[in-house]
Chain A
Amino acid sequence: MYGFDYHRPTALADVVALLIADEDAKVLAGGQTLIPTLKQRLAMPSALVDLSAVPGLREIVAEGDGVRIGAMATHAAVARNALVRAVLPGLADLAAHIGDAQVRNRGTIGGSIANADPAADYPAAVVALDAIIRTDRRDIAGGAFFTGLFETALQPGEVMTSLFFPAASHARYAKFSNPASRYAMAGVFVAKRGDAVRAAVTGAGPSVFRWHAAEAALSARFSADALDGLVLDAEGLNSDMHADAAYRAHLVGVLARRAIA
């Protein structure tokens, strides 16, 4: 770790003001990604602006036919929240399988999504359900939020405050864990809202993406065997020491079927 200033403002406006005043300052949420990065001296922010004292950011409330989740809601809170379990049990289940108990008790949904790790779980849900991301200044559509490897549509100094997830007649996530990190080696979230089906894939590529061919097949017939004969093109998928692209492409097919069953 290098030295940095630490702020813990109690109003969102103060957070934004601090971030605007200092472009090298960074928001601190659960710290499960940021703190290890600092400890390894891989980042050198001038200041950390801790969101933990800003009121209202942890709330989980019903809104319309969906649910609004505060950016500071921890994975554990989402996993056990009665409303989420009732409206989107697949989302609660996803949260329940992130990392370990310590990580789930500290790590937040906002931090996970802002970080946009290609192997993170939540991005698949955000894209498949087309969640709406609310920041201090605007709403961003889930489908437009993830722009690349660790890149999002957030502007410098922009702070996420909550996410809205609409209800879905089917919403389920299937994950294949990396044997070492237990992040997603591949993960597929399949959501069906009305007639529209979305299948979002995480872990397999540089950023979360939709498997359009599968979506088309499932929109025609929402059943696992509708995917028979469909194989995701391995071109452009991640290849690393844990698994090559061909294996990941194959896994996506297996997981998509499991996310429907």
Chain B
Amino acid sequence: MTKFGIGQPVPRSEDTRLLRGAGRYTDDVRMPGQKVGYVLRSPHAHAAILSIDTTDAASMPGIQAIFTAADLKQAGIKDIPCVVPLRVRAGTTLHMKHRPVLADGFVRHVGEPVAFIVADSLYQAMDAAEAVMVDYDMLDAVVDTAAALTHPAQVHGDVPANLAYDWEKGNRTATDDVFARAARIVRLDLINNRLSANPLEGRACLAEHDTGADITRLTVGSQGVHDMRDMLAGIFGEDRARFHVLTHEVGGGFGMKLFCYPEYVLACFAARKVDAPVAWTSSRAEAFLSDDHGRDNVSVAELALDTEGRILGLRADIIANMGAYLSNYATYIQTDGQTKMLSGVYTIPAIYARVRGVYTHTQPVDAYRGAGRPEAAYLVERLIDKAAREIGQDPAAFRRLNMIPPSAMPYRTPLGHVYDSGDFAGTLEAALERADRAGFPARRAKAREQGRLLGLGIATYIEACSGGAPEAAELLVKPDGSVLLLIGTQSNGQGHETAYKQVIAEVLGIEPDAIAMVQGDSQVVKTGGGTGGSRSIPTGGAAVRDGAADVISQARPVAARLLEADEHALRFEVTDAGGGFAVTGSNRFVPFIEVAAAAKPDADGHVFRGKGKYSPPSNTFPNGTHVVEISVEIDTGVPRIERYTVVDDFGTVLNPLLLEGQVHGGIAQGMGQALLELIRFDTESGQLLTGSFMDYAMPRADHLPMIDFSLRPVPCATNPLGLKGAGEAGAIGACPAIINALVDALADHGVTHVDMPATAPVLWRLIHSAKAATAA
């Protein structure tokens, strides 16, 4: 272990520039002669477009061009595709409705792009937008997830009952059998509330067309440039070499910036047409109307138990809101993304899940921090808690009884994941101890004296990370021994630069200052899988380590020459003084820097080009336990989190500072979902009701106490660095732990469930109506 290597709390090298305002975000980039793009959006949730007249608007001052669906059609621009195929239930039909770049014939959600106006200034564009005459014939709208299947309003004329897909997983017959002979069936109806990601930095893009090279360059706040480039190429029906995608600093993505949005296609299209750079920057109001949303499920969950309280089976019937069109990965999130995790940390012999995706007159819904795994953990951990209460068992004891023991690893769940490692009961025990559960009754009694109902909630979560695509890393070494890392993952603020430098420092023994990173450039970096599903450090980190090891291999012959020794006799050593080659059985040593200086540079001036590639053999499975104490003020229903304890197993720790930051942020986000956040549409008009921070409540610092965070790592057996990933964990454990705690607080009032967000008026009413019921 070295000072800057793996496991060290190295401060983020990004922060110096970011905190001083020297970061370069998309909207900081300015091109000479750049124009402004502005989207005219639908004011209606559902309407037929009878006509669009841009004549007056086009002749207004500063207007370069106005584009509608007709222009795109003429140019052969395709819809933005949903790229995940889906095998639906036998006898049912999959209805893939891809997202149009501009509405063609119909608008299907408030905020849907109708026309793109390119002007010299934003205000000129806005003036022109007001002068575009769109003749709408308004139609009925449906926004509600549960209602979509039976509502008379139809989002797409050829999609009966608004059913995008009807999908299943698991053995239905076997599961039904288990339920038929169960001693007890526990049922829970629950809603996973719709959310907006609301990153600090909104979406933005800047497109320019290089006529000479015939390449369109898009600078965009993304979570990976290569997928974005390929998506654009497909939509334009052109070779991907004609698109160059750049991403600079990104101020938060949370999944929402993975996707290709209409504005990006429009900016590229317009830049070519008007022969000038075209920039588009979302306002906060537009963000609420145009960013993909997250979650939005309505589920019925059931658990079958034997007489001793052992779990026999789990059934879930999930309705998932897709919005009006399928976003890039929409078909995955609530199908495999969610249901594959329905085993949780428990031995559940039989699992069956059915998921119906429904279209509504709302903007598309796609991945949001956890992308299905938080939904699964919420369903499982709420159901487990309810089951324990129903059979009168202690929720911790009930969990313990049903947990997969470490001796069962690797453990194959009925839905096909193979958990490589984990000591679930171990983290549960550790968390209960740190949370001083023993002292809880006394704290509860004291709170009661102060007019507050105190509850304790537990959630033992597991999630799947780092699956899917391989990642490659290239390390270019200069004669001065400095390293340039090229990698196709994309930091959205997590601190990848710091983390990767640590991996390189660990292997090569060089100082972080001698390492630089290039990400977010689809030309310089040849391939990349982007950032999502906590894959960057486990997958990217492994590739970086591989690349660094390749550098050592390339340096070895040079070192052998310098040391006048046989290559096989050389050992690469890393100490606090740095890295270098030593001759076994002697004190002869040559520092890496000297080896680099002695090597022959190639045409680009690099002495070594280390290449690493890592294909994850399977997912990794971070897990842990959250224990929350929350009090509810009897007078007002106001919930207050009193204590928050979390014990996680993330496998090997790369940087404890970065890790704790991820956990804190995740918990804040999960707490936001549990207590505050909800996207609401008017059920009649389909208008967005929570269109600004005046009505959409975000988590704030004073909502959380200090978080007691600790680790109980079990190294990952399938990742070469032992890493499991940690990007979503906080957001996954927080929701069920908080709601379990609230139910515990209100259990004496007859409360068995409360949906998220559990706001003060909702909680007050639960206490109040229970009171009335007892009195009666």
> Binary interface profile of A, 218-261, with partner B (CB < 8 Å = 1, else 0)?
00000000000000000000000111100100110010000000
Bound Cα distance from A254 to B764, whole angstroms? 12
Minimal beta-carbon separation of A139 from chain B (angstroms): 34
Q: Is A41 an interface residue (CB 8 A)?
A: yes
Q: Is B327 an interface residue (CB 8 A)?
A: no
Binds B, one of A13-21, A147-155, A174-182: A174-182
A181 CB contacts on chain B under 8 angstroms: 693-695
Q: From residue 667 to 703 of chain B, which have CB atoms closer than 8 A to chain A?
A: 676, 680, 689-690, 693-698
**B689 pairs with A179, CB closer than 8 A:** no
Q: Is A1 an interface residue (CB 8 A)?
A: yes
B759 CB contacts on chain A under 8 angstroms: 179, 242
Q: Is A40 an interface residue (CB 8 A)?
A: yes
Minimal beta-carbon separation of B675 from chain A (angstroms): 8
Minimal beta-carbon separation of B586 from chain A (angstroms): 65
Q: Is B123 an interface residue (CB 8 A)?
A: yes
Bound Cα distance from A183 to B123, whole angstroms? 30
Minimal beta-carbon separation of B571 from chain A (angstroms): 58
**A40 pairs with B285, CB closer than 8 A:** yes
Q: From residue 88 to 144 of chain B, which have CB atoms closer than 8 A to chain A?
A: 123, 126-127
> Binary interface profile of B, 563-595, with partner A (CB < 8 Å = 1, else 0)?
000000000000000000000000000000000
> Binary interface profile of A, 1-28, with partner B (CB < 8 Å = 1, else 0)?
1110000000000000000000000000
Bound Cα distance from A229 to B693, whole angstroms? 37
**A1 pairs with B697, CB closer than 8 A:** no
B676 CB contacts on chain A under 8 angstroms: 179-180
Main secondary structure of the interface of B (DSSP, over half): loop
Bound Cα distance from A217 to B765, whole angstroms? 27
- How many A-B pairs with Cβ below 8 Å? 40
**B761 pairs with A254, CB closer than 8 A:** no
**Pick the contact of A180 from B126, B696, B765 — CB < 8 Å?**
B696
Q: Is B635 an interface residue (CB 8 A)?
A: yes
Q: A40-B285, A180-B695 are in contact. Are A247 and B765 (CB under 8 A)?
A: yes
**A241 pairs with B285, CB closer than 8 A:** no
Minimal beta-carbon separation of B668 from chain A (angstroms): 15
Minimal beta-carbon separation of A228 from chain B (angstroms): 13
With both beta carbons as reference points, the residue of chain A lying nearest to B130 in the complex is identified as A41
Minimal beta-carbon separation of A158 from chain B (angstroms): 28
B680 CB contacts on chain A under 8 angstroms: 241
**Pick the contact of B764 from A1, A2, A40, A250 — CB < 8 Å?**
A250
Bound Cα distance from A183 to B694, whole angstroms? 9
B760 CB contacts on chain A under 8 angstroms: 179, 243
Q: Is B636 an interface residue (CB 8 A)?
A: yes
Minimal beta-carbon separation of A115 from chain B (angstroms): 14
**Pick the contact of B635 from A2, A179, A254 — CB < 8 Å?**
A254
**A247 pairs with B761, CB closer than 8 A:** yes
With both beta carbons as reference points, the residue of chain A lying nearest to B703 in the complex is identified as A179
A176 CB contacts on chain B under 8 angstroms: 636
With both beta carbons as reference points, the residue of chain A lying nearest to B678 in the complex is identified as A241
Q: From residue 44 to 78 of chain A, which have CB atoms closer than 8 A to chain B?
A: none
Bound Cα distance from A41 to B38, whole angstroms? 15
19 contacts between A and B (CB under 8 A): A2-B123, A40-B285, A41-B126, A179-B676, A180-B690, A180-B693, A180-B694, A180-B695, A180-B698, A241-B680, A241-B689, A241-B690, A241-B695, A242-B695, A242-B761, A243-B760, A244-B761, A247-B761, A250-B764
User: Which positions in B face A, CB cutoff 8 Å?
Assistant: 123, 126-127, 285, 635-636, 676, 680, 689-690, 693-698, 759-761, 764-765
Q: Which 3 residue pairs of A and B lie closest in terms of their CB atoms, listed nearest first?
A: A180-B697, A179-B697, A181-B694
Q: A241-B689, A247-B765 are in contact. List 15 more A-B contacts (CB 8 A).
A: A1-B123, A40-B285, A176-B636, A179-B759, A180-B676, A180-B690, A183-B694, A241-B680, A241-B690, A243-B761, A244-B761, A250-B764, A251-B636, A254-B635, A254-B636
